[in-house]
Structure 1
Amino acid sequence: MIFLLPVQASQSIENSFAVEPFNTRYLQETERTVLHPNQALKDVRSKGARSQSDILNFGLGAPPVWVHFEVSNYSETKQLRYIQLENTWLDHVHLYIFKDGQMLQKEIAGDAILFEKNRTSRFFSFPYNFQPGDTSVLIRIETPEPQLLPLFVLTEQDMLDRKIKSGYEYGIIYGFLTALLIYNVLLYFSLRSRRYLFYSLYLASFIILNMAYTGHALKWIWPNWPEFQNQIIPPMMMLFAYLGILFCREFLSLPERFPRINTSFNLLSAFMLCSVIWYVLSGNYLAMLVTAFISVIPFALLMISAGVVACYEGVKEAKYFLGAAIFAMISAIVTAFTVSGIVEYQPFGFHAVEYGILIEAVLFALALAYQFRISQAEKIEAQRLADRDQLTGLYNRRGFQKVIEPIYSNATRNNRNICVMLMDIDRFKDINDNFGHSFGDLVLLDLSGLLMRELRAGDIIARWGGEEFILVLPETQHDEAITLAERLIGVVSNQVVQQQQTEVQYTVSIGISEMKDPIDSISTLIDNADHYLYKAKAAGRNRVAYQVDQNCELDS
């Protein structure tokens, strides 16, 4: 497929030099036999079609095309200009310069030739000193690939300016994508999450594909492998799409959440894999090109569909994924359609995939970050719930052990006092047996709410098990703990728990221990409190038990 832009002269060319774009003509060979340049010049002048639009479309695998235009030098001296074809994947390019019917110069180039033998930049650029008067330029292009032919006649300064501008643009694109790639690789090795691995591979495949597509790879990475350059783009398009599928599958958890969409992705992956295998075995490059371009459409639609369905199903991070997929896939389709001739050539359309991938990279990075925040929040919430009693919301034993150790260690180091209370609801089994376990849960909730209201912010409350609660009072003297316990006894005994027509009052028993010799651990402190709780219940319940010197004093 050949796309021809009418020859464009440099904007800075003076009135003494002109290119006649409206006299640009083209002629497509009817046979695979290459015409002689002199005959081709006569034929294209007499039988060639005049360019009527900015683009000429000859289709994939078209025969070679001859392009002819006139250059006029109105000055009396020679003028150096560069005839530049700003495309990188032309297999064979033959350029002929004629003046007064005589061939003055011949150039042979193409990406089927070693890079160093036919060009110094990623484009095909031919310098020529145009003599005064009219000069004919004849170019023959042969390639099986879809083609664009942006053709410019430039001064040396204009060519340098375009090169610098292009360098800045691609420096930003590749620099940004490479930094993002390195960042995600580090995240993968840190978090061991496959979504970061697949996204890293997805970014890497695009960088390599784009560098092959723009000619940067041929210039900097594999200049001595023209055959590889000729074959790499279609397989890389397939690989890019396949890695996008893997990333989508992992990011949205398609096998678990959306098995039907996952099946569609599997079928597309199988189709692409079979196409690559068939291409390797048959060597049918043209068929591989067609397959690669066609595969872009279902890949784009499936990615967007997966994002839409995930958003509809309430997957929070899917909104970023959908936005990224829309930008990336639409831009990829625009570029594919521009390159394949379905839509008219525009510079933006030709480079749309590069702009789209930058937006996609930002949105996918936001999606991964948002997903990570959600994952961390869920993890923290799961840890919090694991440390909490499901009924009352108080610490359970597991959570209690986490918070008590630093409190006890601080008190030990700084010689601070701690008191521990163990509290038990009196005759709780009778409440469950007489009124049911749901009513017993109401009693537990009533007591836990009362304790949270009555205790200080720095005190620790936990459900120790069943109807038993533990209270840790940092920076509290023994007599202060006794006063608090007696107040709690009184407040609890006045509580009334009601459900429909049932009203029940309940009481509690409390055992108190304080941190002093020979106590050497928090476990010993709790065991002592449990000992006094047993004493309180044995003495008749609804009372506090604690140690005074060597005796056990009971207070009702």
Structure 2
Amino acid sequence: MLLLLDKQNNLTPEQAFNTYKENRFAQNSRNQVSFGFTKNTVWGVLPITNSATDSSIQVLKIDNAWLDEIDIYFFKNDQLRRHVALGDSLLFTQRPRDERMPAVAHSFEAGETFVLFRFQSEDPMTIPIYLGNEGAIASYKSENAYFYGALYGSLLILLIYNFVLYFYLKERRYLLYSLYLFAFTAFNFTYTGHGFWVAWSDSIWLQQWVMPTLMFCYIFSGVVFTIEFLNTRVFLPALYSARRKIYFGLLILACVIFLTGSRSVIVMVQLMILTTMSIWMLVIGYFSYKGGNPLAKFFIPAIAMGTGGATISSLATWGVIPYSQWAFRGIEIGMLIEMSLLSISLGFNFKMVQEARKSAETNARLDPLTNLYNRRAFPDLVHPIWLLGKRNKNPMSIILMDLDWFKRINDQFGHTVGDEVLERVSLELKKRLRDSDIPLRWGGEEFLIFLPNTEGGKAKHLAESLRKHFETLSFNKVNKITTSIGVASAFPSQIDLDKLIMRADEALYSAKQKGRNQVVAV
């Protein structure tokens, strides 16, 4: 195709065609389709030769949804035969074909026909032109339908998944990620022409202003998401303190450019902000990673993929690199990978939260000194076994053991030595009990041992062997310790569990009253 830049923007189609006939159009030897932001009118001529004797119907498609004015003129024998106006300065319903991208079918007569294009737009001037028969265009449309179906389907799944996580966990980062994802999807839906095609086909104003508006929403949601996702309150407190100023600054900047600038200025400024934001997100991710944030190891490669894809698309749009379908789709592919990695990172965060919650629950049920279960864990551990024993008519026993004169040990040797004694006692208990037995630190120097499937005689024998064993043990600074033990046994069908504990406590009290260092069973 041959090109001409009309800097005066005043050529008529006949004048432009005559200029072409005078060989004043330049050969597009580099196959340039991107001209960036330009106020010039771009003219192009595409000679098409039909060597057959019959007419041939071909479809011309301009694969860009945001060009304001597209005029196509068909010249035959130096005469203007047909004019078709496209572009989003016209209602979608005025287009000759109901397709997402501007297109027109034309019956090319035998011989040579000259197709003259005129383009003018406040948005980036990218004019990829495709020519083919209905079958080729249908195949191309099908490929695009599969691509965008997969893209929007994937983004929708990620969106629903993270919304569900937010409603389940009530954690703001899942909501902000969902909003960031939604903002990108809406922005993409607009600049790819889907919005004008299916949502606001009867509104030129919406078509021209929704895209820059959604671009700002995408930028703003990305900044908010980054600050919240990386938990800057902990890892980058200075940034977190300045977050409201950043948000307010972006809103003020948006108001200024939207109220004072043309659409081309608005889009250009926002593209520069978007590029700056991408670099800023990588820098923030790096410093967050250096600060020890585990989520940053997902965030950095995710943003790098999104930034890389957006950069490729931007360079293709500005004409810095050769235009291709995959280069133009770079932002979509990059953002899909970015969103997937971020979703994985949020899944990783969910796992960490669950593990932390589980760890907290476990720690709440464990005595940190002896590493035995505490009184809080008793119902969850024992009640199921108690109910099973009740159905199976199995005997159950409880041992309550108290260290004699333990307060004297703390007063004489200090609490550190007292803690060492408690740790040693818990270790010895674990060694001398069955796997099915459940030892707990009941409080202070008191231990409870639940013995499932154990009748009274065996429980008393175990208690006596424990008493003798502790009496013979030697400790570092404490010469020896003695224990008083109460034992209670019964069938679950005969008594409540709480009453069995009370009986064991009464037996322990009786052992102390009788002089300590002995076992009393009831």
Aligned pair partner of 1:415 in 390, 393, 406:
393
Q: Which residue of 1 aligns with 2:32?
A: 55
The answer as to 2:238 corresponding to 1:260 is yes
The answer as to 2:65 corresponding to 1:88 is yes
**Contact 1:238–1:292 (Cα < 8 Å) also in 2:** yes
Counterpart secondary structure, 1:384: helix
**Contact 2:390–2:491 (Cα < 8 Å) also in 1:** no
Is the deviation greater in 382-391 or in 530-539? 530-539
Is the deviation greater in 299-308 or in 268-277? 268-277
User: Which digits, 9 at most, give the CA deviation of each residue in 1:115-138, with x for residues without a partner?
Assistant: 111141111212111122221111
What residue ranges of structure 1 are gaps of 5+ in the alignment?
Answer: 1-23, 548-556
Give TM-score, length-normalised by structure 1. Answer: 0.89
Superposition pairs of residues 149-160 of structure 1, within 5 angstroms: 149-160=127-138
The answer as to 2:15 corresponding to 1:36 is no
**Contact 2:372–2:426 (Cα < 8 Å) also in 1:** yes
Identity over the aligned pairs, expressed in percent? 32
The number of equivalent residue pairs is: 520
For the structure 1 residues 265 and 350, does the alpha-carbon distance in structure 2 shift closer, same or farther, using more than 3 Å as the test?
Answer: farther
Superposition pairs of residues 502-513 of structure 1, within 5 angstroms: 502=477, 504-513=479-488
The answer as to 2:160 corresponding to 1:185 is no
Counterpart secondary structure, 1:70: strand
The answer as to 2:88 corresponding to 1:108 is no
Give, in whole Å, the separation in 1 of the partners of 2:242 and 2:133. Answer: 53
User: Which digits, 9 at most, give the CA deviation of each residue in 1:465-495, with x for residues without a partner?
Assistant: 1111111111100000011011101111111
Q: CA deviation at 1:108?
A: 0.9
Counterpart secondary structure, 2:475: strand
Q: Which residue of 2 aligns with 1:274?
A: 252
Q: CA deviation at 1:181?
A: 1.5
Q: CA deviation at 1:263?
A: 5.7
Give, in whole Å, the separation in 1 of the partners of 2:64 and 2:111. Answer: 29
For the structure 1 residues 392 and 300, does the alpha-carbon distance in structure 2 shift closer, same or farther, using more than 3 Å as the test?
Answer: same
Give, in whole Å, the separation in 2 of the partners of 1:268 and 1:445. Answer: 54
Give, in whole Å, the separation in 1 of the partners of 2:186 and 2:241. Answer: 28
Give, in whole Å, the separation in 2 of the partners of 1:361 and 1:317. Answer: 14
**Contact 2:72–2:115 (Cα < 8 Å) also in 1:** yes
Give, in whole Å, the separation in 1 of the partners of 2:290 and 2:125. Answer: 41
CA RMSD of aligned residues (A): 2.0
Is the deviation greater in 474-483 or in 129-138? 129-138
**Contact 2:436–2:452 (Cα < 8 Å) also in 1:** yes
Q: CA deviation at 1:157?
A: 1.2
Counterpart secondary structure, 2:70: strand
Residue identity opposite 1:508 in structure 2:
T
Give, in whole Å, the separation in 1 of the partners of 2:55 and 2:244. Answer: 62
Q: CA deviation at 1:298?
A: 2.1
For the structure 1 residues 74 and 430, does the alpha-carbon distance in structure 2 shift closer, same or farther, using more than 3 Å as the test?
Answer: same
The answer as to 2:272 corresponding to 1:297 is no
User: Which digits, 9 at most, give the CA deviation of each residue in 1:55-113, with x for residues without a partner?
Assistant: 26544242211111211122222111112211111111111111221111111111111
Is the deviation greater in 203-212 or in 336-345? 336-345
User: Which digits, 9 at most, give the CA deviation of each residue in 1:500-535, with x for residues without a partner?
Assistant: xx3521111101112259964222212211111121
User: Which digits, 9 at most, give the CA deviation of each residue in 1:166-201, with x for residues without a partner?
Assistant: 111111111111122222222222332222222222
**Contact 2:235–2:293 (Cα < 8 Å) also in 1:** no
**Contact 2:395–2:492 (Cα < 8 Å) also in 1:** no
Counterpart secondary structure, 1:505: coil
Is the deviation greater in 123-132 or in 48-57? 48-57
Is the deviation greater in 58-67 or in 96-105? 58-67
Give, in whole Å, the separation in 2 of the partners of 1:263 and 1:121. Answer: 49
Is the deviation greater in 110-119 or in 273-282? 273-282
User: Which digits, 9 at most, give the CA deviation of each residue in 1:231-251, with x for residues without a partner?
Assistant: 122221221122222322332
Superposition pairs of residues 315-326 of structure 1, within 5 angstroms: 315-326=293-304
For the structure 1 residues 519 and 466, does the alpha-carbon distance in structure 2 shift closer, same or farther, using more than 3 Å as the test?
Answer: farther
Residue identity opposite 2:94 in structure 1:
K
Superposition pairs of residues 56-75 of structure 1, within 5 angstroms: 58-75=35-52
Aligned pair partner of 1:437 in 415, 428, 435:
415
Aligned pair partner of 1:353 in 285, 308, 331:
331
**Contact 2:35–2:318 (Cα < 8 Å) also in 1:** no
For the structure 1 residues 63 and 485, does the alpha-carbon distance in structure 2 shift closer, same or farther, using more than 3 Å as the test?
Answer: same
Aligned pair partner of 1:174 in 136, 144, 152:
152
Is the deviation greater in 414-423 or in 252-261? 252-261
Q: CA deviation at 1:226?
A: 2.0
